[in-house]
Copies of this chain bind each other. A is one copy, B any other.
Amino acid sequence: MTALFNEPAGFVAEALAGFARAHAGLIRYEPDPGYVVRANPAAKVALVSGGGSGHEPLHTGFVGAGMLDAAVPGAVFASPTAAQIRAAVRAADRGRGVLLVVKNYTGDVLNFSIAAELAAEDGIDVRTVLVADDLATDSADGPGRRGTAAVVAVEKIAGAAAEAGADLDAVADIATRVAASARTLALAFTACTAPGRDRPAFELGPDEIEFGVGIHGERGIEVRKAAPAAELVAQLAEPVVDALGLAAGEKVIALVNGLGATHGLELAVAHEELVSFLAARDIVVARALVGSYVTALDMKGCSITLVRAPAEFVDRWDAPVRTPALTW
Contacts and interface: CB of A to CB of B under 8 A. Distances in A.
Given A1-B189, A263-B298, A14 B272 contact: yes
A141 interface: no
A266 B2 contact: yes
A170 B4 CA distance: 40
A277 to B, nearest CB: 12
B4 A302 contact: yes
A139 B299 CA distance: 38
A22 B290 contact: yes
Interface stretch (A50-58, A79-87, A245-253, A307-315): A50-58
Interface string A302-328: 100000000000000000000000011
Nearest to A207: B198
A232 interface: yes
A284 B2 CA distance: 29
B297 A298 contact: no
A229 B226 CA distance: 35
A147 to B, nearest CB: 20
A16 B228 contact: no
A74 interface: no
A11 B270 CA distance: 11
A221 interface: no
A1 B14 CA distance: 29
Given A6-B228, A189-B3, A229-B6, A18 B260 contact: no
A4 B232 contact: yes
A267 interface: yes
Interface string A274-298: 0100000000000011100001011
Among A3, A57, A302, the most chain B Cβ lie within 10 Å of the Cβ of A3
A168 to B, nearest CB: 30
A304 to B, nearest CB: 11
Contacts of A53: 265
A66 interface: no
9 tightest Cβ-Cβ pairs between the two chains A and B: A18-B272, A18-B268, A4-B266, A261-B261, A15-B265, A15-B268, A3-B189, A19-B268, A22-B290
Given A3-B262, A6-B269, A18-B272, 11 more contacts: A1-B189, A5-B265, A6-B230, A15-B269, A17-B268, A18-B290, A19-B264, A21-B271, A53-B265, A260-B261, A261-B261
Interface of A: 1-7, 11-12, 14-19, 21-22, 53-54, 56-57, 61, 189-190, 198, 206, 209, 226, 228-230, 232, 256, 260-273, 275, 288-290, 295, 297-298, 300, 302, 327-328
